[in-house]
Amino acid sequence: MKAIGYTSAQFGLPVANDAVLLELDLPDPVATGRDLLVEVQAIAVNPVDTKVRKSANLPAGESKVLGWDAVGIVRAVGPEVTLFRPGERVWYAGSIARAGANSQLHLVDERIVGHAPASLGNAEAAALPLTALTAWELLFDRLGVAPGQGLGQSILIVGAAGGVGSILVQLARRLTRLTVIGTASRPETQAWVRELGAHHVIDHTQPLSSELKRLGLAPVEYVASLTQTDQHIAEIVESLAPQGRLGLIDDPAAFDIKLLKRKAISLHWELMFTRAIYQTPDMIAQHRILEDVAALVDAGVIRTTLGEHFGAINAANLRRAHALLESGKARGKIVLEGWA
């Protein structure tokens, strides 16, 4: 089968190098246990793809396939599978502990897979699984917001125009009663965040607490920091109400956690891959989340966060997608569809 990835010879190459990602010819995988064998029809590209490409070296002669967002058709199932049948259309984000989905055929555990929303095409659907799972777990599991609750409280989403932010704004606005405040720095990304449902949008190149005061907004009960947490931490603490909750998904180099003490702010880290990496007892929760999100999409409550369609799944288009993500200028999700 055809796949896109890299070997030890490409490790560390800059994204501008034409050899940074290559087309690979790999054996067809075989479904065992609770695995589905999925024929991949569309994928999305996430910051985790670029991070793994730049940080995960390989022994000589080995290859690594990236990609943790996919939509496809189940072609075969392992003997222990109970949730799906061959021929069903599915979507998922997969596990970082296994080969990625930038391949024509892909193995994935059924417990982290859902039925794809019927109302979306493959590319539109591929934009959602990883970010929807991350946003859902961050909002409801980590920060502890209850669906339908939050009246009189607010959430500040730092980096609201990115992939996770684009779905988190929608979930918070549609499924809770929180006042949703997003941050974005450019006119086009600010307009995007408003379009997704944020009550207010502020500029994260300015002090966050000053921006809140400029709009007459009180300190917030929740902050979801999705990017550059170490650069914003002092202003995040200033913007949080006493006993507030801070959730983050990025990898800050360092920050002084003692800044949280005076206000008794609690810290919550979200990693969408944790359940799959550790095979947690509640791993099947991701199947249920994806089923719920598909129903919300089909009901018109949640919309796709597709930002740009980069064409067919091939090495050149994936390099372009990685380059745009590394530029920090992506809006929504980058998707690829079909095999060239």
Per-residue pLDDT tens over the stretch 115-144: 999 999 999 999 999 999 999 999 999 999
d(CA 181, CA 209): 12
Banded pLDDT at 331 (limits 50, 70, 90):
confident
Give 254: exposed, middle or buried? Use CB within 10 Å, 0-12, 13-18, 19+.
Answer: exposed
pLDDT 10s digits, 148-167: 999 999 999 999 998 899 99
Closest among 9, 45, 7 to 322, alpha carbons compared: 45
Say which DSSP state 111 is in: G
pLDDT at 61 over 90: no
Q: 107 - beta bridge partners?
A: 37
3-state SS, residue 273: coil
State the Cα angle at 168 between 248 and 247, rounded to 5°.
20
Banded pLDDT at 57 (limits 50, 70, 90):
confident
d(CA 340, CA 37): 21
pLDDT 10s digits, 80-117: 999 999 999 999 999 999 999 999 999 999 999 999 99
| Joined tokens for residue 94 | 């997969």
| Joined tokens for residue 34 | 């609770």
pLDDT score of 10? 85
C-alpha distances in angstroms, 189 versus 165, 186, 331, 336?
Answer: 11, 5, 7, 22
Say which DSSP state 103 is in: B
Banded pLDDT at 8 (limits 50, 70, 90):
confident
Banded pLDDT at 18 (limits 50, 70, 90):
confident
pLDDT at 330 over 90: no
pLDDT score of 131? 95
Identify whether the C-beta of residue 333 lies closer than 8 Å to the C-beta of residue 164: no
d(CA 322, CA 49): 8
DSSP H or E segment with residue 22 = strand 22-25
C-alpha distances in angstroms, 339 versus 107, 189, 335?
Answer: 18, 30, 13
Mean pLDDT of 283-297: 98
